[in-house]
Amino acid sequence: MKFNTKTIHAGVHADEATGAVMTPIYQTSTYKQTAPGEHKGFEYSRTQNPTRAQLEASIAALENAKFGLCFASGMAAIDAVAKLLKPGEEIVATNDLYGGTYRIFTKIFEPLGIRTRFVDMADLDETRSAINRNTRLLWTETPTNPLMKIIDIEACSAIAKENGLLLCVDNTFASPYLQQPMSQGADIVMHSVTKYINGHSDVVMGALALNDPELNERLAFIQNSCGAVPGPQDSFLTLRGIKTLHLRMQRHSENGRVIAEYLKAHPKVDKVYWPGFEDHPNHEVAKRQMKDFGGMISFTLKGDRMEDSVKLISSTKLFTLAESLGGVESLCGHPASMTHASIPKEERMKAGLSDSLIRLSVGIEDAEDLIADLEQAIG
């Protein structure tokens, strides 16, 4: 089944009780049993819910995976993966990553004895050098947040297999439409479903996709035991959002290209971070492992002054100044004070994230209107 057809049909089916084409919202906490332990596959909605089950099947299909697990947020999904490790074991993670991921690894799991080493995972030699006998997990984002580095998933998979490690890829910025890490050797794919998969800025949710039955059993046990699961209403909204994922991602990518080229040609703009440019250091990797280059762009202004960046993002009219990304509407943000504020400044600077960096999530509006908005804001 082709991807565009999967978004409409894969993992979902008409309701057996009524024939409803759209998956119903099973707004129930518990289910009738005919005898103790005898039921129709559902017993308590923290453990299983029919609406969530169809969503999990749909996400697994989109990622070419056998199993899908949904969580109350992207952070809950990350938390579940980190709980696979024991005290004394270590994670090697990319140093350009979402601030919340950095925070949970350093502030929650490091005090529990699970250390994370942050490296530039676009540099495979640096990645190898960070691995030691305690390493159990490679954690990467690609494209990275917010510098849009592209990390070679197949190469990282080879490194993981050489060392007996799990490879988890945060695929949030690409979505399954642009990139499918399972097909390139990832063991686990993570999504903040809040972003492109749902696509309408009305749900907070996370997901994992994977193939290994034993690993799925371990993660499902964590999901059920810790209870960070999404409700049926959010599952329904996400199932609805998935049906237009392919159409939205096509427009995000088209608009992203137009905006990136506009910014690159602007006399007041300094650096533009977007993997579709031929001079992007990881462009060839992006061409190989992505279908297109997406709608996420970061840039700096000439002079590299934080006050100029803050003035710009406070002056836009169509680009809404807000946290998050991946919705149909365009958003802009200041990573150093918003999404990445939990990363110490010295660590941000070491990774190349300056205080003046602006991040755009280019929506599906008319590209000419978006350019006009940036033009008046840049001045």
Cα gap 49→308, rounded to integer Å = 49
pLDDT value of residue 275: 98
Render pLDDT for 184-243 as a digit per residue (tens, 0 to 9): 999 999 999 999 999 999 999 999 999 999 999 999 999 999 999 999 999 999 999 999
Catalytic entry in 96, 152, 170, 292: 170
179 has pLDDT over 90 = yes
- Evaluate if residue 337 carries a pLDDT over 90: no
In the chain, % of residues over pLDDT 70: 100
Q: Is the CB of residue 361 less than 8 Å from the CB of residue 343?
A: no
Among 61, 273, 352, 288, smallest CA distance to 155 is for 288
Using alpha carbons only, give the angle 228, 139, 328 rounded to the nearest 5 degrees.
Answer: 65
Provide φ and ψ at 74, rounded to 5°. -60, -40
For residues 206 and 161, the answer to whether their CB atoms sit within 8 Å is no
Q: Strand 296-301 and strand 269-273: pairing?
A: antiparallel
Residue among 98, 102, 177, 196 flagged as catalytic: 98
* CATH top class, domain 3-242: alpha beta
Please indicate whether residue 96 is annotated as part of the active site: no
Q: Which tokens sit at 296?
A: 């996420």
Q: Give per-residue pLDDT as tens, 101-160.
A: 999 999 999 999 999 999 999 999 999 999 999 999 999 999 999 999 999 999 999 999
- The arithmetic mean of pLDDT across residues 12-31, rounded, is 91
* Residue 278 tokens, joined: 């031929």
What's the whole-number mean pLDDT along residues 28-43? Answer: 89
Residue 346: pLDDT band (50, 70, 90) is confident
Respond yes or no: is residue 26 known to be catalytic: no
Whether 46 is catalytic is yes
What is 245-378's CATH topology? Aspartate Aminotransferase, domain 1 (3.90.1150)
8 Å CB contact between 374 and 255: no
Mean pLDDT over all residues of the chain?
A: 96
| Active-site entry in 15, 46, 66, 264 | 46
Q: Is there a catalytic annotation at residue 31?
A: no
CB half-sphere exposure, 98, CA atoms < 13 A = 22
Distance of CA 40 to the CA centre of its chain: 33
What confidence tens digit (pLDDT) does each residue in 274-333 have?
A: 999 999 999 999 999 999 999 999 999 999 899 999 999 999 999 999 999 999 999 999
pLDDT computed for residue 212 by the predictor: 98
Q: What is the pLDDT of residues 81-117, one digit of tens each?
A: 999 999 999 999 999 999 999 999 999 999 999 999 9
DSSP code of residue 181 = G
Catalytic residue among 6, 115, 136, 195, which? Answer: 195
Work out the pLDDT band at 349, boundaries 50, 70, 90.
confident
Strand partners, 210: 67, 188
Residue 338 has pLDDT above 90, yes or no: no
Q: Is the model's pLDDT at 336 over the cut of 90?
A: no
Residue 78, H or E segment: helix 74-82
End-to-end Cα, the chain, rounded Å = 48
Domain ranges of the chain: 3-242, 245-378
Residue found by looking up tokens 């925070």 in the block:
103
